[in-house]
Chain A
Amino acid sequence: MDLIELKSTWDLLQEDVISNDMVNEESLMTSLHSKSKSEISKIKRGLQVKFVIGSVSILFAAALALLSMIKPAFNPLDFIFSPMESAAFLGIMAITLAAMVVFNLRAYAQIEAVESSALNLKENLQNFIKAMKKAIAFNIYSDTLITPIIVTWVYYGYAVQGHPFDINLRTAFLIILLILTALLSYLLGRFMQQLKFGKYLDRLCGYLESLQ
């Protein structure tokens, strides 16, 4: 079958489409209000969930930090921290979460921008890959930030608290723990994202390359 034959068959296909595939306006309307199953929509929904959890946690952590400072008797982390330490811990958590929420919003906005545009195939692929990479980076770095803070502070509460701050084995271990947890969280996060989206991104990058 050469190109000319393909063209005549294409006309035949058009007739087949008209007689078999056409849907009515009602079906079109249903499609319009359906839920997207695309990979990017799943990433978007994940970002939305993280945004809600992050925002609520910021408010919660900031309120508790403030309460710990104003009313030392009310110390939510009494079992490991002094009121000042609780305030510092919760304050750091609130700031870290706020940074994450900002990054989250930026990744979300980039995806929205790609979705609402109708660029040519090449530009759309470029922007789509960029937006996906940003969302994936958010997932990796949010874990890399939060996990070490929690682990290190908990270790601090149990092992270092009450001892004068000095460069000793405990403090050295605290720093090593911080670095190690951050490194492990980063590597695990990267591995997980690679498992989930690595092949998908590789294929899209391959298509983009074929258009360069």
Chain B
Amino acid sequence: MSQKEQREEEFINLVNESQGIIHKVCRMYCDDEIHRKDLFQEIVLQLWKSYPSFRGDSKFSSWMYRVALNVAIQDFRKEKKRKYLFLESVDFREPSINPDTEINDERIAALYKAIAQLDKIERAIMILHLDEVTNEEIADIVGITQNYVRVKMTRIRRKLAETIKAD
């Protein structure tokens, strides 16, 4: 087995153990099955590209979250918009969970609906919070202070409360 193949196998084993993280991120940032598969593939690809940067000084899951969320935040659905003579302007729609998607469990549907109200950054913080990542780690993954994480969480709670009230 070549060194490259060995490295690939080692990487696949690590990702396989924590692939739930990628799926959860995909669920929170995609509006349909096809998009989810595309984003999953894109995240795995990006994880592999940045794998040499993983030195083990942080948890593999934190590193994985960082890369997966970066890819999800930079990912938009393309939409052709206005036409200028023969040229078309391209709009980038923010993919969001479709609350009308048929989900067997009502509670999961409600979770989707709540998350759909948040922007991409708030969604990232929310996912980390729900996954019981500490504020210190959230601050490290997002690149903001712990105080700002708390401020963001307060805003998110308020936003969610408004959504619930509106329902």
Contacts and interface: CB of A to CB of B under 8 A. Distances in A.
Contacts of B88: 195
A184 interface: no
A43 to B, nearest CB: 12
Contacts of B40: 23, 31
**Interface size class for chain A?**
35 or more
A133 interface: no
B75 A2 contact: no
A162 B50 CA distance: 59
Interface stretch (A59-67, A96-104, A170-178, A199-207): A199-207
Nearest to A208: B121
Interface string B33-46: 00000101110111
B19 A6 contact: no
A13 B24 CA distance: 8
A121 interface: yes
B140 interface: yes
Nearest to B63: A118
A34 B73 CA distance: 20
Nearest to A192: B87
A125 interface: yes
Contacts of B135: none
Nearest to A28: B12
Interface in B17-43: 19-20, 23-24, 26-27, 38, 40-42
A207 B69 CA distance: 13
A1 to B, nearest CB: 5
Interface string B75-110: 110000000100111111010000000000101101
B42 A38 contact: yes
B2 interface: no
Contacts of B136: none
A9 B110 contact: yes
Contacts of B116: none
B124 A121 contact: yes
A168 interface: no
Contact of A31 (B41, B73, B119): B41
A27 to B, nearest CB: 9
A210 B142 CA distance: 11
B53 A116 contact: yes
A22 B45 contact: no
Contact of B12 (A2, A25, A119, A210): A25
Contact of B105 (A16, A199, A200): A16
Interface of A: 1-3, 5-10, 12-14, 16-18, 21-23, 25, 28-29, 31-32, 34, 36-40, 115-125, 128, 192, 195-200, 203-204, 207, 210-211
Interface of B: 8, 11-13, 15-16, 19-20, 23-24, 26-27, 38, 40-42, 44-46, 48-50, 52-54, 63, 66-67, 69-71, 73-76, 84, 87-92, 94, 105, 107-108, 110-111, 114, 119-121, 124, 130-131, 140-144, 157, 160-161, 164
